[in-house]
């Protein structure tokens, strides 16, 4: 089963002197119920790929599917609805609406849609992120790690087809990072979620089932069942290639 797919996806920013090819005819398939990590040097196009896959950004050429929906033909309204109902997001920072409590942030996409969350699933998610005693707190009253866990819970609460996370542990210490990653892992193992995560951290990548390596806007390699060591090894190859 394929949760998301890109077909010769290109993204070009600017033109003339400032022309940057962020993605160069990328073909990828993201397997459903898998934890996929995307790695690569800074500027290699990881975030761009993720934004294009998630319908946050338009593509220059090529096609993107989420489940069976092709995105390039969708209007802004339809894309918005798709993001609301089929996609979850976790960003590196500023994930939460400061005026809403943790629980309100978690149920936000469903509240916006005017839908009632599934209470059993919601309870499961809350217990898994371990935030039951913090639900009525505002983001400013939560630690960075707790905030990211709330963000993860929000991404999963509506049972989306796919969750995108861009460096979700980038701002966290190793312990909080491990909590967040552990939670993402469990949501794949126990709740059959699909997760795509951009990261710079080989250790974070080791939580994934599969790692895609990007360089200069192309997928240059992939690795299944990675370990920190194997990922680190592969990353070193980039540095030597560049040197």
Ligand X SMILES: Nc1ncnc2c1ncn2[C@@H]1O[C@H](COP(=O)(O)OP(=O)(O)OP(=O)(O)O)[C@@H](O)[C@H]1O
Q: Count of residues binding other proteins (CB under 8 A)?
A: 32
Indicate the helix (H) or strand (E) that contains 234: helix 228-242
Stretch that binds Mg ion, among 28-36, 40-48, 118-126, 201-209 (CB under 5 A): 40-48
Residue closest to 128 by CA, chosen among 108, 105, 155: 155
Of residues 80 through 99, those in contact with other proteins by CB under 8 A are 80-81, 83-85, 87, 89, 91-99
Please report how close the Cβ of residue 30 comes to other proteins at its closest, in angstroms: 19
Do the Cβ atoms of 228 and 202 come closer than 8 Å? Answer: yes
If the CB atoms of residues 80 and 123 are measured against other proteins, the closer one turns out to be 80
* Cα distances (Å, whole numbers) of residue 190 to 32, 125, 163: 14, 11, 15
Stretch that binds ligand X, among 41-49, 97-105, 131-139, 174-182 (CB under 6 A): 41-49
Burial of 163 (0-12, 13-18, 19+ CB in 10 A): buried
The yes or no reply on residue 100 touching other proteins (CB under 8 A) is: yes
Of residues 109 through 138, those in contact with other proteins by CB under 8 A are 109, 111-114
Please select the residue that binds Mg ion; options are 34, 36, 44, 47, rule is CB under 5 A. Answer: 47
Burial letters for 141-154: b for 16+ Cβ neighbours within 10 Å, e otherwise?
A: ebeebbbbbbbbbb
The yes or no reply on residue 170 touching ligand X (CB under 6 A) is: no
216 binds, among other proteins, ligand X, Mg ion, none (CB under 5 to 8 A by kind): none
From residue 44 to residue 73, the character string flagging contacts with ligand X as x (rule: CB under 6 A) and all else as - is xxxxx-------------------------
List helix spans (H) across 100-201: 102-106, 108-113, 119-129, 144-157, 174-189
Stretch that binds ligand X, among 35-43, 108-116, 123-131, 145-153 (CB under 6 A): 35-43
> How would you classify the pairing of strands 218-224 and 69-70?
unpaired
For helices 119-129 and 174-189, the axis angle rounded to 10 degrees is 150
* Cα distances (Å, whole numbers) of residue 174 to 70, 135, 180, 238: 38, 24, 10, 24
Of residues 27 through 66, those in contact with other proteins by CB under 8 A are 51, 56-57
Q: Which residue ranges make up the site for other proteins (CB under 8 A)?
A: 51, 56-57, 76-77, 80-81, 83-85, 87, 89, 91-100, 104, 108-109, 111-114, 140, 154, 171
């Amino acid at each position: 089963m394929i949760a998301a797919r890109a077909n010769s996806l290109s993204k070009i920013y600017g033109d003339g002197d400032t022309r940057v090819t962020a993605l160069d005819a990328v073909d990828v398939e993201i397997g459903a119920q898998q934890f996929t990590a995307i790695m690569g040097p800074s500027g290699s196009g990881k975030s761009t790929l993720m934004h294009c896959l998630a319908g946050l950004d338009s593509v220059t050429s090529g096609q993107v599917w989420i489940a069976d929906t092709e995105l390039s033909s969708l209007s802004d309204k339809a894309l918005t609805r798709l993001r609301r109902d089929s996609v979850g997001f976790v960003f590196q920072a500023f994930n939460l609406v400061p005026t809403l409590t943790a629980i309100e942030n978690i149920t936000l996409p469903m509240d916006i849609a005017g839908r009632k969350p599934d209470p059993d699933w919601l309870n499961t998610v809350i217990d898994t992120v371990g935030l039951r005693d913090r639900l009525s707190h505002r983001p400013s009253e939560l630690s960075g790690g707790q905030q990211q866990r709330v963000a993860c819970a929000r991404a999963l609460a509506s049972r989306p087809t796919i969750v995108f996370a861009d460096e979700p542990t980038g701002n966290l210490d190793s312990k909080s990072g491990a909590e967040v990653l552990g939670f993402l892992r469990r949501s794949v193992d126990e709740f059959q979620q699909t997760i795509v995560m951009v990261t710079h951290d080989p250790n974070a990548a080791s939580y994934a089932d599969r790692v895609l390596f990007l360089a200069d806007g192309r997928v240059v390699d992939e690795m299944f069942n990675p370990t920190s060591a194997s990922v680190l090894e592969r990353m070193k190859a980039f540095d030597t290639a560049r040197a």
